[in-house]
Structure 1
Amino acid sequence: MTDVARRAGVSPATVSRILNGTAKVADDKRQAVLAAISELNFAPNQMAQSLKHGRTMTIGIVVQDIASPFFDEILHGVDDGLKGTGYASVIVSGHWNADEEAERIRLLLARKVDGIILLTGRMTDDTVLRFAEQRPIVSLGRVLQTERAVGYKLDNEHGAWLAVRHLIELGHRRIAHLSGPVENRDSVERLAGYQRALKEADIAFDPALVVEGTLHESGGLLAMNRLYDSGQPFTAVFAVNDQTAYGARLFLYRKGIRVPDDVSLVGFDDLPGSSYTTPPLTTVRQPLYVIGQTAVQSMLRLINGEPADGAIPPVELVVRETTRRSA
């Protein structure tokens, strides 16, 4: 920094203020400093800055499945949200296991991350709040609002209701549901939305039309297979998520069942690939990329001792080409 200051003809304090953006500096001095930085290939010592400011400039990210396109889209938003902030991310996986999630958070705390973004999971709210006493936490899939922790939760029940109501408005009454694991909160809430839409339309709920999957493509294929083998008649399928819908679509294709001519199909999430399935998938859109960006913005505010005031858009139905009016 002293060399940069000497080359630019300014004090080291001026170089520091320009690098940190802590005060206004005359434009000619700023340009001289930037030119000197370029000529000398100067880069601030991150370790020294961390010691000075008491921060590591890292944020821990706990995902549940690194290979999942659902989390991949959120991480894309997180990554873009961190650009230009000076922060880097450390990503670990909790594998949908509360004990493992807690162990991963302890690992991140040991590495002195400045905050933690928790992408859903199975830990209780009380456990999350206890960890937040040590570092700020932004969590998805739960409702939290404290000085140290904030949570964002989409209305899964309403999203499922939108999907099933769409099918009902198209004249479908035998609507099957490929659900997720019973221990998954999102799956339970989407099942509730499915049931509410049926009840409001005076359609009796038939448990035989609900088949549990795994939230993955393979689980959707197997669940669709079990539904087909059960012999239950149906004209439409609401899948708990897009990945389940992909597997269901493959099974129907192999059986020569046309979508949407023979069976209408709706997913949930609006993953990037859902616009390119054959045919393009009707689904409920979660603003995954925006969720990732909002999580970063809220985290930076919490780290700076400011209240997190971000909001995420509501879910919405995206009608494409896998649904049509019942014959």
Structure 2
Amino acid sequence: MKTVTHAALPPTVHMVAREAGVSAATVSRFLNGTARVSDDKRKAIESVIERLNFKPNVLAQNLKTGSSRTIGVLTQSLISGYFTDAMAGIEDALKHTGYAPLIVSGHWHADEEAERIELLIARRVDGLVILTGRLTDAQIVDFSRRLPIMVFGRQLDAPRAFGFCQDHYRAACEAVQFLLLQGHRHIAFIAGPADHDDARARLAGYQDTLQRQQIKLDPRLIVDGDFHESGGLQAVEQLLESGQRFTAIFAANDLSAYGARLGLYRRNIRVPDDVSIVGFDDLHSSSCTTPPLTTVRQPLFEVGRCLGQGILNMIAHQPFTVDVPALALVVRESVRRIG
């Protein structure tokens, strides 16, 4: 007689419920995210799911609930440390919720951003997080009629769209004031793109702080940059070629500061012995530059967590408040006291 061996049946919701000591309805609510489950029950269910290697039928769940269990994330760059920190925070906020991020990039082009959002909507994402960009408020509000949206980099408060930003002006004032307290009076500024709101706020903070301290503003010490290392390098070369005296540089972002540091090194100008440098962002590598960079820290991971939690609350029609993470000056070794 031929023996037929049957493969073990895959675990089901009912098997998970029995092993976890809860009802099948509780397991379904946990998987669907349609109701809160107590911490004890959640831990028991997660333990059994891992032990049984349970794989829920996501497609069937989506068809039943009308939800894709995905959150669209529109970023501007997939390789920038600035954006990857924020995306990591979003991912952390979605952990253990049953939702997964679907990430696209708009590359700072409004038309491309709009096209990418249409792509995400076609994929039936349940909500959208936008990390800065070129879209207008009106465009974002229009998209929010089709799905809830959280935005970083602008103030926005509409029925299904909410946005917040950080105080770049105040942080820039603090950075310049720090240089002034170290005795610097000839402070150059490497600006960011003129059409970038954050860059404009940082420039205004630089200008206003000098004027409040009755230090004459020298427009020749303000040079254009583009938020990239190459722009910082070109900017510092322009400053050096101009012959203008400066003892410190405030760069509109860390990447510009890296480029400026390279330009000074090539001219045998020491940092901070000859010229001090302050950046803005506090990218991970800024603590490991030579010397470690004094900069304004943007807590972007925490920002991402706020965005992720906010979009989940919007999807669930739950009220929420955003405690905007504050910017803070991080003093390292790239600034020397003079005078």
- TM-score, normalization by structure 1: 0.92
Q: Which secondary structure does the structure 2 equivalent of 1:145 belong to? A: strand
The partner residue of 1:287 within 293, 299, 303 is: 299
1:252 pairs with 2:264:
yes
Shift of 1:89: 0.8
> Contact conserved, 1:62 with 1:93, CA < 8 A, in 2?
yes
Shift of 1:307: 2.5
> Contact conserved, 1:297 with 1:310, CA < 8 A, in 2?
no
Structure 1 residues 302 and 25, CA gap change in structure 2 (3 angstroms): closer
What CA distance in whole angstroms lies between the structure 1 residues aligned with 2:213 and 2:43?
Answer: 67
The partner residue of 2:310 within 288, 294, 298 is: 298
Q: Which secondary structure does the structure 2 equivalent of 1:324 belong to? A: coil
Q: CA RMSD, aligned part only?
A: 2.7
Aligned equivalent of 2:4: none
Shift of 1:29: 9.9
1:218 pairs with 2:230:
yes
Aligned equivalent of 1:194: 206
Q: Deviations over 1:7-36 (max 9, x none)?
A: 889874465356557789999999997787
- TM-score, normalization by structure 2: 0.89
Structure 1 residues 206 and 9, CA gap change in structure 2 (3 angstroms): closer
> Contact conserved, 1:150 with 1:308, CA < 8 A, in 2?
no
Aligned equivalent of 1:313: 325
Aligned equivalent of 2:280: 268
Structure 1 residues 198 and 24, CA gap change in structure 2 (3 angstroms): closer
Aligned equivalent of 2:62: 50
> Contact conserved, 1:170 with 1:324, CA < 8 A, in 2?
yes
Alignment coverage as a number of residue pairs: 327
> Contact conserved, 2:132 with 2:152, CA < 8 A, in 1?
yes
Shift of 1:3: 5.6
What CA distance in whole angstroms lies between the structure 2 residues aligned with 1:268 and 1:168?
Answer: 17
1:111 pairs with 2:110:
no
Q: Which secondary structure does the structure 2 equivalent of 1:237 belong to? A: strand
What CA distance in whole angstroms lies between the structure 1 residues aligned with 2:284 and 2:121?
Answer: 33
Aligned equivalent of 1:241: 253
Shift of 1:146: 2.6
Structure 1: which 5+ runs fail to align?
Answer: none
Structure 2: which 5+ runs fail to align?
Answer: 1-12
Shift of 1:279: 0.7
% same residue: 54
> Contact conserved, 2:33 with 2:97, CA < 8 A, in 1?
no
> Contact conserved, 2:33 with 2:98, CA < 8 A, in 1?
no
- Write the mapping of 1:72-221 to structure 2, written as runs, cut at 5 A: 72-221=84-233
Shift of 1:326: 2.2
Q: Which secondary structure does the structure 1 equivalent of 2:157 belong to? A: coil
1:59 pairs with 2:35:
no
> Contact conserved, 1:147 with 1:302, CA < 8 A, in 2?
no
Aligned equivalent of 1:228: 240
